A and B are shown apart, each in its own frame.
Chain A
Amino acid sequence: MGVSRRCAAEQRGAATVAGEIRVSIHSEADIVAARQQGRALAAELGFSSGDLTLIATAISEVARNIVAYAKRGEILLSHTNQGSRRGIVVVARDEGPGIPDIAPAMQDGYSTSRGLGLGLPGAKRLMDEFDIASQAGKGTTIVMKKWAR
């Protein structure tokens, strides 16, 4: 498990927010690390406590996806600004088998309430923005964003 904090500290106002945080995902223990780091970053960005849980849960789901299907990958956590809004950016990347057909995977029925399936539609519901690119044999990259209210 590796967690490295590349601190490109940007002095903005009173708070310093770190640059990108990378969490490598090898095993299920890394899932907890990824969501804890995500929660911490989101807290620094000023998200409400309810949103912290949503973000941590979404990270947990995509990280779990990596472990289950790709065996290894990484989660990159960073922040972004849009006008006066601050947002958290979560990138989940792996070089696993990929999802050959994304459409059905993103359908609500795929991740059923029984907790089976890819969990991706769920993660999408929890975040504000969700983009997925995947190619069979090449891997999957997911970019999710949430904006602080």
Chain B
Amino acid sequence: MEVPILKQGNYLIATIQAALSDAALLELRDELVERVGRFRARGVVLDVTVLDVMDSFTARTLRAIAHMTKLRGARAIIVGIQPEVAFAMTQLGMTLEGVETALDLDGGLAALRRGTKGGGDRGR
């Protein structure tokens, strides 16, 4: 597994270290889902700070991770999307609708602890 996954209390923290191949990304997805079940994690923070390009496959897989972990009882929060990447994503129509986001690792953990939803929320 290229991506280190840490356990912090009830939460799992996965930090992507370098651009991932498609296969590695799918492996990460499966690994996270498995561990959420194994450790009965309540939350997952996935840090994508290092990714300088987010294409359709990556976006699709992040959504899959969020949905699949949710099915197993954990809230997933994507953190670290950089300004240029966020802009490119919206140009491409990739809005990660329904996926929670936060600015960074601290923000992600805080959102999990708050129990309130992060950026993906409409704010209502």
Q: Is chain A's interface secondary structure helix, strand, loop, or mixed overall?
A: helix
User: Which of the segments B4-12, B53-61, B105-113 contacts the partner chain?
Assistant: B53-61
Asked if A53 contacts B95 (CB within 8 A), the reply is no
Query: Is B103 an interface position by the 8 A CB rule?
Result: no
Determine if A111 and B21 form an interchain contact, defined as CB atoms under 8 angstroms apart. Answer: no
Among A29, A57, A119, A121, the residue within 8 A (CB) of B53 is A57
Contact status B56-A119, CB under 8 Å: yes
B40-79 Cβ-contact flags toward A at 8 Å (1 or 0): 0000000000001111110110010000000000000000
| CB of A93 closer than 8 Å to a CB of B | no
Residue of B nearest to A51 (CB): B84
Judge whether A122 is part of the interface by a CB distance below 8 angstroms: yes
Residue numbers in A under 8 Å from B19 (CB-CB): 32
**Which residues of chain A are within 8 angstroms of B93 by Cβ–Cβ distance?**
108, 111-113, 121-122, 125
Closest B residue to A32 using CB positions: B19
Q: Which residues of A contact B53 (CB under 8 A)?
A: 35, 53, 56-57, 60
Interface size on B, residues (CB 8 A): 24
- Known contacts A32-B19, A32-B21, A108-B93; A115/B57 CB under 8 A: yes
CA distance A115 to B19 in the complex (A): 19
Number of A residues contacting the other chain (C-beta, 8 Å)? 29
Residue of B nearest to A112 (CB): B93
Query: For the complex, is B85 an interface residue (Cβ under 8 Å from A)?
Result: yes
Determine whether B87 belongs to the interface, using a CB cutoff of 8 Å to chain A. yes
**Interface status of B2 (Cβ within 8 A of chain A):** no
Tell which of B19, B53, B87 has the most Cβ of chain A within 10 Å: B53
A-B contacts at CB below 8 angstroms, number: 74
Majority-rule SS of B interface residues: helix
A115 adjacent to B60 (CB under 8 Å): yes
Contact B84 A49 (CB under 8 A): yes
**What chain B residues lie within 8 Å of A112 (beta carbons)?**
93
Q: Does A6 contact B (CB under 8 A)?
A: no
Measured CA separation A29–B55 after assembly (Å): 14
Known: A28-B21, A61-B56. A50 touches B91 (CB 8 A): no
Kindly list 19 other residue pairs between chains A and B, CB separation below 8 angstroms, not including A52-B84, A113-B93, A115-B94: A50-B87, A54-B87, A56-B53, A57-B54, A57-B55, A60-B53, A61-B56, A64-B56, A64-B57, A112-B93, A113-B94, A114-B60, A115-B56, A115-B63, A116-B60, A119-B92, A122-B92, A122-B94, A126-B92
Selected A-B contacts with CB under 8 Å, 5 pairs: A28-B22, A53-B85, A57-B88, A64-B55, A64-B56
The 4 closest A-B pairs by CB, nearest first: A122-B92, A53-B84, A115-B56, A115-B60
